A and B are shown apart, each in its own frame.
Chain A
Amino acid sequence: MRSILFLFLCAAACSGSRAATSAGPAAGESGAELWAASCRRCHAMRDPADYSDAEWRVVILHMRVRANLDDGEVRAILAFLTSGE
């Protein structure tokens, strides 16, 4: 148990520099960054082309609940998914 806790702490420490330059939980994150940071925690990131814009508007409601996203994050991620970029 202690070795596993040590492993998590090491991983978190090693990720410090990466987190500072990647999508951290800071205000002003782009929709793409939030999409990567929020989705990758649980599953591989699905292609935005998997769903139409109207379908993403429905799916994002489900992900708001599952990933505990707030309204601003949902809008930013949805704008990215439906931007076609």
Chain B
Amino acid sequence: MRAAVVAALMMLPRAASAQVPVAARDVTSGATTAAADGDDAVRRELAALRARLAALGEELRRERAARAELLSTVDADLQELDGRVVELSEQASGQEARVALVVAGTATGNLAMTSADRPAYSAALSPHFLWSLYGRALFEAHIDVKAGDGTTGLGVEFAQIWLPLGDHLAVGAGKLIAPFGFYMDAIHTAWINRLPDEPLPVADDVGVAPTHLYGAQLRGAHRIGGARLGGIAYGGSAPVLVLAGQEGELPAGALDQDRAGRAAAGGRVALRPVAPLEVGASGHLARVDPADAAMVDRVLAWTGGVDASFTQVAPHLDGTFSLHAEYIVARTNERGGDTYDRTRQGFYFQAAYGPSEVDARWLRRLEGVVRYDFVDRAGLAVEAPPRVERFAAGAAYWLQASLVVKLAWEIALTERPEMDTTSDKRVLAQVAAGF
């Protein structure tokens, strides 16, 4: 384009002179001079235009060179940034792929006051280690460090490794909390449980349900339309029967859950027909006679239980209520004898309500709780089985979702045949923090 313009301009003088007729050159000298002056002016203007064009051309070349250099610099910077982004992405991916450890857990401070005894204080720190292996496998361990009334205790509540199998299953192995029923598997953690103590059927030492085993478990769940069906199957070690003459902290006929004896297996099936409601049934069969005992033949202990839980926001009540209940029955049967035959049963029902939908923030954090529970702990056939029945009422104040202050009043009625029923009242307080 520029070359065409220049060529056109170059053509102007020749064209101008070519268009002047010969006859016009023969005009008087004045006309010739005027024409010559005009030609000079045109030539000067043309020269100026040429010079200006050359200057513009040079300026255009400089601008293009500068832009090319700038683009080259920007391209180089962008390439460097791209490389840096890739490098950082690889680092991030590498960090995700490496082992990741999260330390969660619970801390509690407890106070129990009765009219007969002095107050009992205790505290516990229970770190929960979650160790993710390449984002797929999980190793978790829960340690209990307890102190109270001049005693300290350290124990491993559970330690197990989990591996997902496909979309719906997970297999775990190690020291397990027996996945029997709902309470121990889901809500026994102090910052989740709404009362300072545990229901009798699942409590340590006095409970009816199996508590721990060394073994493996398989869990899975599947949707069926709008419902959900879940299942757990497990197998491993069994508790050990305390034999007559070998009593220690536990009476004869009790099952020592801290010892790993012969074999046990069990499972739970749970159905969630609608989101807030879950109903489950559990079974557990164990051979509990000590391996080294010659005085007893095979002793089998089977345990069965049903459970139900319901948690729902109730707008017409301006709050959230939750219901939990479990019934557990356990039977020990000795082959070839009846020394250790016994049946135990336990039950609890807990109801909680919190005005979670009201405007007042301080009120939304409050939750009232009531619970009824009992346990029949049959000892040996020759002993009178004690039955303990309790009623508890309390309140939990949730400072945060995992920080709660609990206060409860509890009355326990203990029945023994041929003896008067005794009642014990106590006040319990607890601060529990989940981290």
Task: Give the interface of A toward B (CB within 8 A).
Answer: 1, 4-5, 7-8, 11-12, 14-16, 18-19, 22-27, 37, 40-47, 50-51, 54-55, 57-59, 61-62, 64-66, 68-72
Contact = CB atoms under 8 A, between A and B. Distances in A.
Nearest to A56: B102
A25 B225 CA distance: 8
30 contacts: A1-B327, A8-B310, A11-B276, A11-B310, A11-B312, A14-B314, A15-B312, A19-B274, A19-B275, A22-B275, A23-B275, A25-B272, A27-B223, A40-B311, A41-B276, A41-B278, A42-B187, A47-B401, A50-B401, A54-B95, A58-B100, A58-B101, A58-B130, A58-B138, A59-B104, A61-B135, A65-B138, A65-B219, A66-B185, A71-B166
Contact of B162 (A41, A61, A69): A61
A54 B100 CA distance: 8
Mostly, the B contact residues are strand
A43 B70 CA distance: 60
Contacts of A47: 400-401
B398 interface: yes
A71 B166 CA distance: 8
Interface of B: 95-96, 100-102, 104, 130-132, 135, 138, 140, 162, 164, 166-168, 170, 172, 185-187, 189, 191-192, 219-223, 226-228, 230, 270, 272-278, 308-315, 320-321, 323, 325, 327, 347, 349, 398, 400-402
A24 B274 contact: yes
A69 to B, nearest CB: 7
B313 A18 contact: yes
Contacts of A26: 226
Give the residue among B130, B170, B276, B314 with the most A Cβ atoms within 10 A. B276
A12 to B, nearest CB: 5
A5 B272 CA distance: 16
Mostly, the A contact residues are helix
Given A42-B186, A46-B401, A58-B102, A65 B192 contact: no
Given A19-B276, A70-B221, A65 B132 contact: no
Given A8-B310, A45-B401, A58-B138, A65 B223 contact: no
Contacts of B278: 41
Closest 3 CB pairs of A and B: A71-B167, A44-B401, A68-B221
Contact of B273 (A12, A22, A71): A12
B138 A62 contact: yes
Given A43-B189, A61-B132, A70-B168, 17 more contacts: A11-B321, A18-B313, A19-B275, A22-B275, A22-B313, A41-B311, A42-B192, A43-B401, A50-B401, A54-B96, A61-B138, A68-B219, A68-B220, A70-B167, A70-B222, A71-B164, A71-B168
Contacts of B274: 12, 15-16, 19, 24-25
B349 A4 contact: yes
A42 B130 CA distance: 19
Contacts of A41: 186, 276, 278, 309, 311
B226 A12 contact: no
Give the residue among A8, A26, A61 with the most B Cβ atoms within 10 A. A61
Contacts of A4: 325, 349
B375 to A, nearest CB: 15
A43 B401 CA distance: 8
Nearest to A52: B102
A70 B230 CA distance: 10
Nearest to B160: A65
A27 B273 CA distance: 14
B255 to A, nearest CB: 25
Give the residue among B170, B272, B274, B313 with the most A Cβ atoms within 10 A. B274
A51 B277 CA distance: 29
Contacts of B164: 61, 64, 71
Given A54-B96, A66-B186, A44 B275 contact: no
A66 B275 CA distance: 16
Give the residue among A25, A46, A59 with the most B Cβ atoms within 10 A. A25
A3 B170 CA distance: 37
Nearest to B186: A42
